[in-house]
Amino acid sequence: MDRFVIPTAGGRPSIVTVGPDLVDRIGELLDDRPERTTVAVAAQPTTVRIAGRVAERLRAAGLGTVHLPFPDGEAAKTLEVVGDAYRALNQAGLTRGDTVVAVGGGALTDVVGFVAATYLRGIEAVYVPTTLLAAVDAAIGGKTAINVDGKNLAGAFAHPTAVVVDERILGALPAEEAAQGHAEALKAGYVGDPDLVAMYRTGRALSDLGAVVRRAVAVKVDVVRRDFEERGPRAHLNLGHTVGHAVETATGLRHGSAVAIGMVAAAAASRRVTGFDWLDDVRSILEGLGLPVAAPDVDRDRLLDLMALDKKRTAAGLRMVLLEDVGAPVVVDVGDATVRTALDAIGVRP
């Protein structure tokens, strides 16, 4: 079992624990809070069984539990669902000292985190991420969000007190679901852990998921510790996301797949701007993971419009994260010629 500690402004740290069968030890992984009497256990339709195990363990630890069902995926990240959750928590009598545990993927941790951050002006949240993407990315770092018109338009910074990453659950994920998380874990490697990228090159990443999770979590925790509110290094985690977000919106591809394509674009831009060439490297790793490396059917002008709308655009041009080396990211305002190079690399042509 490995522990990663993120200090927070509020005083209580956010503690990420990674290990096998941790769900069965959730009672000991919650911090000591005499005022806690009830825990609401939130689940997606796909995680009801795991949530049941969590609830059982909490009851064995002497706590009362309430089941809090949410819709699947992005359908949970709405104001209506948030309203329903507030009412359910109120009806269950949850007070300031109580806790909400989110058992699910990143969509669930995002919305439950938002509910916990705002119900009674903030109660404790704990996450049990059940997708690889949530374990290495969404559940860590204290960003919560729901979609209102735009994706993640409303949200709050609020850390869970505990993130319980159960390797056994992640190991049981279908390959296509795991691939979505591998895209972000690989990104974490390129941003801050050359050894992790090497694991992907040799294929060891697929046989040693525990090491991948620990390494990717370590990169994110390190960046978050250095930069809580995204003024500096945290932006490095957006590697592949400037183009990736636009591809995601234009194609409806899942986030990890879109980020995979975005990383290929970032690699082409890096080669031109910094001279560091990781284009073939990232392409072959992504292909090995069964992730897409191009978006040939996307309309170029539509993609450019979407990128222009993105938060990452500045007066100086389009802001992209590029690499000077594996583990050495830089944020650069790139010009039109570089954007063209990036889009050519992913098969998006006029």
Binding site for ligand NAD (CB under 6 A): 44, 46-47, 72-74, 77, 104-108, 110, 130-131, 133-134, 137-138, 141, 143, 152, 169, 173, 177, 180, 255
**Gap between the Cα atoms of 92 and 66, Å rounded:** 7
CB of 133 to ligand NAD, least distance (A): 4
Which residue, 124 or 248, has its beta carbon nearer to ligand NAD?
248
Q: Determine which one of 184, 271, 283, 340 is catalytic.
A: 184
Q: Where are the alpha helices (DSSP H) in the chain?
A: 26-29, 48-60, 79-91, 106-118, 132-133, 167-171, 175-192, 194-202, 204-207, 209-226, 241-251, 255-273, 279-288, 300-309, 336-345
Q: Nearest to residue 113, comparing CAs of 141, 143, 134?
A: 143
**8 vs 131, beta carbon nearer ligand NAD:** 131
Token pair, residue 272, equals 């031109």
Whether 184 sits among the annotated catalytic residues: the reply is: yes
Measured in degrees and rounded to the nearest 5, phi and psi for residue 153 equal: -70, -35
SS3 (DSSP) at 350: coil
For residues 191 and 185, give the distance between their C-alpha atoms in angstroms, rounded to a whole number: 10
Residue 145 beta carbon to ligand NAD: minimum distance, rounded to whole angstroms: 6
Task: Please confirm, yes or no, whether 121 is among the known catalytic residues.
Answer: yes
- Shortest Å distance, C-beta 131 to ligand NAD: 3
182 is a catalytic site residue: no
Active site residue 124: no
Q: What value, to the nearest 5°, has the Cα angle with vertex 153 and ends 291 and 74? A: 50
Catalytic hit among 74, 151, 152, 230? 230
Closer residue to ligand NAD (CB): 157 or 276:
157
What is the rounded CA–CA span in Å between residue 219 and residue 238? 13
Annotated active-site residue 152? The verdict is no
Q: Which is nearer to ligand NAD, 109 or 338 (CB)?
A: 109
Residue 56 appears among annotated catalytic residues: no
Q: What's the min distance (Å) between Cβ of 314 and ligand NAD?
A: 22
Q: Which of 25, 53, 151, 234 is catalytic?
A: 234
Separation in Å, CA 131 to CA 136, 159, 187 = 9, 19, 16
Q: Using CB atoms within 10 Å of the CB of residue 311, give its burial: 0 to 12 exposed, 13 to 18 middle, 19+ buried.
A: exposed
238 is annotated as an active-site residue: yes
236 in active site: no
Residue 147 is a catalytic residue: no
Q: Which is nearer to ligand NAD, 139 or 267 (CB)?
A: 139
Contact 245, 310 (CB under 8 A): yes
| Annotated catalytic residue within 124, 187, 236, 238 | 238
Q: Exactly one of 255, 283, 319, 340 is catalytic; which is it?
A: 255
Residues 216 and 134 sit within 8 Å (Cβ to Cβ): no
Active-site residue, 28 included: no
Whole-number Å distance between alpha carbons of 170 and 154: 29
Catalytic residue among 220, 236, 283, 319: 220
User: Nearest distance from residue 135's CB to ligand NAD, in Å?
Assistant: 9
Of 41 and 339, which CB lies nearer to ligand NAD in the complex structure? Answer: 41
Q: Compute the least distance from the CB of residue 108 to ligand NAD, in Å.
A: 5
Give catalytic residue positions: 121, 143, 184, 220, 230, 234, 238, 241, 245, 255
